[in-house]
Structure formats: structure tokens, C-alpha cells
Structure 1
Amino acid sequence: MDHVQEQVAVSVESEARALGACLMATPAYDPVADVARAVREGDWHEPAHELVWSAVQQLHGASRPTGVPAVEAQLRSTGDLQRAGGVVGLSRLASEACSPAEAGHYAGLVHGYAQVRRYQAALARGMQGARHADPLSVPETIAAHQAELEYLTADDQDEDDAFGRFGDHLDEHLDSLALSVPAAAHTGFTDLDMLMKLMAGQMILVAARPAMGKSAFALGVATANARKGGPTLVHSLEMGRGEVSNRILAARARVAFHHLRDGASSLTQDDWDRLDRHTPELKGLPLWMDYSARVSPARIRSRVKTVLRETGRAPLVVVDYLQLMQTDQRNTRQSTYDRVTEISRELKILASDTGAVIIALAQLNRGPEQRPDKRPAVSDLRDSGALEQDADAIILLHREDYYEPESGRSGETDLIVAKHRNGPTGTVTVAHQFHYSRMRDMAEEPSHD
């Protein structure tokens, strides 16, 4: 009889049959691999079964037999034999073994019941979140719950596609090489786009000390990509709607930023004429903005899916800036290191899952200021080493004229590609015009409009 509890989704019989088959494995037919393909960590409901499975895996990984005597010895060596049910418990499991051909089926049931339990737990956490939700952050609460459910949905699909023999898909991959792969997004800087082609699923980190022009760079990239027809999503955690709008207008129309900031008292007729010429284009751009100061990976995922539904394409996502983000768990006791580490990993997973290109801005520590040349390095990244590990590319911004006002390189910004997982590193120099809140190619011809 299959002992399926009413309150907790579990089939103890399926667990026993799958494990029993592993304990009765023979050289002629080894069901351990079939079971391993189906179950995941944490799938076993019974603690004793989890211990037995761990021992089986250790033995199987060492190419040793997984029969009752071998598993007994393994559990005895780790001090887990009694907690695993002792010799009697192992013998009982062996007596309930299914045939080797059925092991994969019962292991699939073990995983299925585990997924039901996870689903039930997710729904319970969703209800708890609804009961304690902050009325001002309901969308974030819903997005976090939605992300958890989506993670469960993707579990089996991801595994099916992620595992297999290398050669199974090699012909298909070789066929794909006959086609040119276009960039998934554009920065708008000619030399930078030549040095590093932005590809779907990448996370790019743009880091600098304060006042280096990170936001001007990021908004310039977002506008340039949108002007090429690429859907673009900007999460501005630090600046509100008014300041971001003024920055984009200043950069595109070439109206002094302080004129826009001060309003009518400073705007000239020429300024108004320029704004009138460029406003229609800006209004029609595929550019989405989120000005919420409380942004989590789940919220970004939700916004990406909105853009995907509307355009059919994964967007370029700009996050200004990463260290201001919240985790989906919102654990007030979480250290800064743990918070930034979790956010970094979740952003990389989000990019991979959706095909979006994510450009995340980040702050550097004071390391550059201790060096004679003031140039930043990857080691200057603040709060977590995971940022360097997760990023596909890291661009560091440096302005010599910030530290040496009389420098012969006044008006220049170095974009230092310090890490590039899929290509070369190098330095691209661009011109900054911060009175217009913009950066541009050094060779760009001045416009007269």
C-alpha cells in the first residue's frame, strides 16, 4: 500500500522501492544512475532515506558496490548507521526493492512528491507574505512570490536541457556557426562595441568612484540602444523621474543640464527649440523606466517579462546601482556581503534565464585614491567578491582630470574593460560633456542642431 499522507505529500513506498533497487544493484544493471537523474538534493522526505542515499552516492562515485554490506560500512564510518535505521532498516529497504528497470519511475515519483511539497510551502509563504505585506510594497511582495513559483516551474525544464552527452548537440551547434550572431544590445560607443559585443544572457558590471560619470554613461547607453530599436529597461534607484528626464533631454538635445534643472528662468529660446526637435523621437523610443527606490531581482524579472510580452524581445536592462538593491528575502539580519552576493548571483541567473543583457552599476572602494595614478582595479569592487566572479565583463571608469584639473587629458574618460569573459580586455577613451550629462565617441563630429 502506498502511504500517502493527507497533509504532507509523500510516498514512503516510492522512496523505499527506489533506494531498495540501489541496494540490490548488480554489475549487469546499475539503477543508481537512473535514480540520480531523477532526484534532487532535498527530495527525500524521510531523514533516514536521505542518509542512505548520501551513502549510496558516495560509494557509487568511488566506483564501489552499493549493496547492503557496503552501505552499512559507509554509514558506520560516518556515524550515521543508527539514524539511517540500522542494519534492520537497510535490510527492510532491500526487501522492498523494485526491479532495476522500475527504479527511474519510482525516483521520478520521489521527485514529484518533493516538488508538490515545495509548491505547498511556497503557497504557504505567499499567504504569510500577503498577511504581513507592507501596503506600500505589494507589487514587490507579489513579484517575489511569482519568482519563487517560476523557479519551481523551471526546475525540471532546466535539468532536461542542461544535462546530456557533449556530442548530442554538436552538429546543431556547428550549423549555427554558419550564421553571423548580431549583438543583443549596443552601447553607442563605436570602439567599445567593437571591443566587446554585448550578447544575450550577459551581466556587465560598470564600476567607478563617485563623480566619474557612471549614471551619464548608463543613461547614454540606454538611450543609444533604444534609438537603435532595442527594447531597453532602466531601474533608477538613486535618481527620480525629474532628474533622469532632465539628464536624457540634456544629452540628446544638447541643452545645458543646469538650464533644465532651473527651469524657465534659465531656458533660452534656443533651448526650447532644441527640446521641441528631439522630444518626438524620445517619446517614441522603446525605453521603459522604473524609478522605484526599492528594487529586488524579482521586481526586475517581472519588468523584463512585461517588456518581453510587449516587444517579443529580451531588453537591455540598466540598474543604477546594484548596491542599493534589496534581496527578495528582505532579511534585516542579512549582512551587506551576503546581500550583495545574493543579488549578484540572482542578476546573473536572471540574465541567463531571460536572455536579457544586464548592465549593473556599482561603487568602488577608496582603493584608487591610494595609488599614484588613481586608476581603479577590479580588486576595488565593494562589498562582495561575487561581483567579480559573476560578471561576464567589468568596465571601470576613470577620469584623470578629476584628480588633476590641469591635466592634458581634460574632458576625457577611460572605459577600462578590466574583465571580458568572451573576448579581449583593453581601454576605450571617450569624451565627457557633463554640462550636457553625456559621454560621446572621441571622433564624433559636433552637431549643429
Structure 2
Amino acid sequence: MAVVDDRWQDAPPREPGESRPFERQPPQDLAAEQSVLGGMLLSKDAIADVVETLTTADFYKPAHALVFDTILGLYAGGEPADVVTVAAELDRSGSLGRAGGSVYLHTLTSAVPTAANASFYAQIVAEKAVLRRLVEAGTRIVQLGYGGNEGQVGGGEVDEIVDRAQAEIYEVTERRTTEDYVVLEELLQPTMDEIDAIASRGGQSAGVPTGFADLDALTNGFHPGQMIIVAARPGVGKSTLALDIARNASVKHKMATCIFSLEMSKTEITMRLLSAEAQIRLAHMRAGTMSEQDWQRIVRRMSEISDAPLFIDDSPNMTMMEIRAKARRLKQRNDLKMIVLDYLQLMTSGKKVESRQQEVSEFSRQMKLLAKELEVPVIAISQLNRGPEQRTDKRPMLSDLRESGSLEQDADMVILVNRPDAWESDDPRAGEADLIIAKHRNGPTTTISVAHQLHYSRFTDLAQQ
């Protein structure tokens, strides 16, 4: 039976000029916009205050956006930005008429009560801009919800539509409204500033530090937008290594980190963290045979551990969409700095796919997009296939990544974990492990040797054994 929405069928015809609720004027405050620009034209200090709050896209009136952009151009070039210079610059570019003319610029300065309140006026303009983006996002979400056939706006799986709707709201709250493209000239100075900052720190980690000296020296830490694969055969210690990196970031450096675990429970992860931090044998914890000294070591470390901004989610059967939604909330509320996913082969999309390889390829692409969207490094733990076990040389290779070649293509870095004593217990290098950097998009590939202390559920630098 067809359902027809006839709520408007009997509505009276509209009078000329009458608008329905859907045709209302977008949120804006032209007086506040005028006051912001007037304050900027009167005071150089006001410009410095306003640029921290507003961008060109925040102005509702195009003429105001044009004037704002011109003021910023003069300010950035070290030139004075007043009515005369701004009018001259607009005239030179042929935009003075579109900005309202010289008379309108004088009107802006006379309309502002005082330049000292420019930052307050800027906040009003910014809030109206957020509301406009919210209206725009709401319109797009309505279109998604009403989307019909495959290929139309809103077409596709319901979960995908919900995910896109969440992304729309996230972009509003993050105020990420800049253009997708940036001319190279605008990228040079920020890049030079970053290089200078690294040099001023003596080359110390600019990203999220891993806790391993040689690895940090090679990578300069894990950086926003990177996807890092940590892979090994079962029982070698891939999850332990990832937990070590998460523990170092959250406990030692107070960087908010989230572990999405599809393998271990929250209690098991916490137990491993306590074992590594307090240097208590994990087996003694599990067996309930801890000594009095063990308990004292835990108490001494408890204060620092409890203050760590580490979040653990062990929800079963998590989909990538759920992980993205949770990660967005953590980014907004807790300034998330890193995500660990343990582990890739346990994930499921919850929908029919042609092959498992295709499904893992989709996970890989979504993880890379998540890293770029939230501007955090994402560490994805993965299993290797049986290739190393079938070779004389047991060292893993990039081609051993299981189920999808997309993992090695999408990843910025692939770390393969190898323990010689996992294959031969009497190996001369027993107690050591190799972190094989099999792919490194921003640097060389190499092998870093560390010590494994799996009885404490951790890896350490060789010098710290």
C-alpha cells in the first residue's frame, strides 16, 4: 500500500513574499560582521585577535569576505591595513566595486563602537557561521535520508548513510571548511617552520613517540594521518609491541590514545599494561601468586598509570563504522592523538562481500581515511600468512601480509616483528627481536633490534635490558 504525505495538500496558497520554514534566511549577523571589519581597519592589534577566530568562509556577505581577505593579505605582507590602503588594494585588483566602494569602507569604521571589542564581534560571526554550516549539513543529511536508488544522493547501505551523516556533523563541529586544494606557495612557509621546529628540538620526536630510541630516530615519531601496520605470525608479539607504543604515548607523554581490541578483553589489556609498567611477571598476575614486593611495585606505579589518558574498547564484532564514530567522539572530547586497532583479521563489515580480500581492502582504505580525517596516526595490527614458516629463512617479508595487497599499498609504514627464538629456542640471539621496517613512505627501510621481555609483556631498547 502506498503511503502519501498529504500534510500540505490542504494548506492555503502562499501570499506573494510569504516563505515556508524551509526557505528562511540562513543564520547571520551583518552588524557583527561590519563591526569586525571596522575594528580591523582601525587597529592592527584587532587584526591579530580576529585571525585566531575567523576565516574568510565565516562571513555571510560576500563583500565582507572580500574586504576581510584583502586586510589579511596586507597584514601578512607587513603593510598597514586601513581604509586608504585596503581601498587601493581592492581597486588594484578590480574588486572595489564588489566590496561596496570606498564609501562603504568608511561606513565600516564609523559603525564600530570600539576596536577593542573586535574579538568579541568575531566570536559572534564565528558562531553564526557554525550555525549556517549546521543548516547546510542538516540539508545534506535530509537528502541522504531521502536518497533513493543506487547511484543517487543517499543511495547505498543504511550503515554507510549513517556514517556519512556523522561525518557531516563532525565537519561542522571541527569547523573544517577550508578548500581541498592549496597552492604550493601557501605550503612552503608552514613546511619550513616545521623543519625549523624539528631542528630547534635537536631532532627530537615531533610526532607521537614510540618509546624505542632507534625507531623514533628513524621515524621522528608517528605522525597525524599515517597508517602504520604492525604484523607478525601468532605468538611473536605484535600486540605486545603495539601496546608498548600506546603505553609510552599515554603513560609517559600523556597523549590521549585509544585501543580498539577485538582480541583481548579490557581486563587482559590492563593486566598487560600493569605487568609492563611495574615489571611484574604476567604469569604471576594471572595465577594470583604475586609477592609482597610485586604488590608494592604496583602501588608505586598506580598513580602515574591511573592518570594516563588511555581509552580501551573491547566491544565484540565492532565494524569500521562504529570505530570511526567512537574515534570522532574521542577526538572532540579528549583531543585524541593515536588509535590502535587489534587486530585487522578479526574485523567484519557486517554485510555481504564478494571475497574476504575485498573486505580487508575496504578496511585498509577506511583506516587510512580515518587517520587523515581525525589527523592522528592509526596503528593497525595484522597477522602474516604462513610464508615465514615455509621458508628456510624465517624472517617475514612484506608479501607475507595476509588477505590483501591493499594493506602494503595504503600503509605509510609496515613494521614486521620477528623473534629468532620463536623458531629456535637455543638461537644465539635469544631474548632479542627485530623490528623490520619493510615499508617507510617518509624514510629508509631498515631493521631495528630490540629486546623482548615477554614475561613482563613488553619490548625494550637493547641498552635497557
Range into which the TM-score falls when normalised by the shorter chain:
0.5 to 0.7
TM-score (norm. length: structure 1)? 0.64
CA–CA distance in 2 between the matches of 1:322 and 1:149? 25
Matched with 1:431 is 451
Stretch deviating more after TM superposition (181-190 or 334-343): 181-190
Cα deviation for residue 342 of structure 1 reads 0.7
Question: CA deviation digits over 1:57-94, x for unaligned, max 9?
Answer: xxxxxxxxxxxxxxxxxxxxxxxxxxxxxxxxxxxxxx
In structure 2, the residue matched to 1:353 is 373
Deviation for aligned residue 1:431: 0.8
Q: Deviations over 1:190-232 (max 9, x none)?
A: 1111111211110100011111101111111111111211111
- Alpha-carbon deviation of 1:333? 3.8
Structure 1 unmatched runs, 5+: 1-5, 7-113, 127-140
Residue 290 in structure 1 maps to residue 307 in structure 2: no
Residue 322 of structure 1 corresponds to 344
Matches within 5 A, 1:31-430: 119-120=141-142, 122-124=144-146, 146-152=162-168, 161-163=179-181, 165-167=183-185, 169-180=187-198, 183-197=206-220, 198-226=222-250, 227-263=252-288, 266-311=289-334, 313-327=335-349, 330-430=350-450
Tell me, what secondary structure is at the counterpart of 2:363?
Answer: helix
Aligned length: 313
The Cα shift of 1:177 comes to 4.1
Contact 1:394 1:420 in 2 (8 A): yes
Distance 1:375 1:310, change over 3 A: same
- Alpha-carbon deviation of 1:143? 8.3
Give the superposed CA RMSD: 2.9
Q: Is the 8 A contact 1:378 1:418 kept in 2?
A: yes
Following superposition, the deviation at residue 163 of structure 1 comes to: 2.7
Stretch of structure 1 that moved more, 391-400 or 333-342: 333-342
CA shift, 1:284, in A, is: 1.0
Which ranges in structure 2 are unaligned for 5 or more consecutive residues?
A: 1-7, 9-135, 149-156, 200-204
Letter in 1 for 2:421: D
Q: How many Å separate the matches in 2 of 1:125 and 1:248?
A: 47
Aligned-partner residue type, residue 328 of structure 2: K
Amino acid at match of 1:214: K
Distance, in Å, in 1 between the alignment partners of 2:463 and 2:303 is: 27
The aligned amino acid for 1:295 is: M
CA displacement at 1:255 relative to structure 2:
1.1
1:142, 1:442 → 2: CA distance?
Answer: 50
- Counterpart-to-counterpart distance in 2, 1:429 and 1:174: 33
Name the SS of the counterpart of 1:397 in structure 2: strand
Looking at structure 2, the residues matched to 401 and 409 of structure 1 have their Cα atoms a distance apart, in angstroms, of 7
Matches of 1:173 and 1:267 in 2, distance apart? 52
Q: 1:272 to 1:124 in 2, by over 3 A?
A: farther
The answer to whether the 8 Å contact 1:307/1:315 transfers is: no
The residue that corresponds to 1:11 in the other structure is none
Q: Contact conserved, 2:166 with 2:325, CA < 8 A, in 1?
A: no
- Give the residue type in structure 2 aligned to 1:206: V
**Structure 1 CA distance for aligned equivalents of residues 182 and 246 of structure 2:** 38
2: distance between equivalents of 1:179 and 1:258?
Answer: 44
Distance across 2 between alignment mates of 1:287 and 1:165: 38
Q: What SS does the corresponding residue of 1:204 show, helix, strand or coil?
A: strand
1:237-265 residue CA offsets vs partner (Å, 9 max, x unmatched):
101122112111111111111111122xx
SS at match of 2:456: coil
Indicate conservation of the 8 Å contact 1:297/1:346, yes or no: yes
Q: Whole-Å Cα distance in 2 between the matches of residues 171 and 205 of structure 1?
A: 31
SS of 1:443's partner is helix
Given residue 269 of structure 1, which amino acid in structure 2 is its aligned partner?
Answer: E
Cα distance per residue 1:402-431 (max 9 Å; x no partner):
111111100111000010000111111111
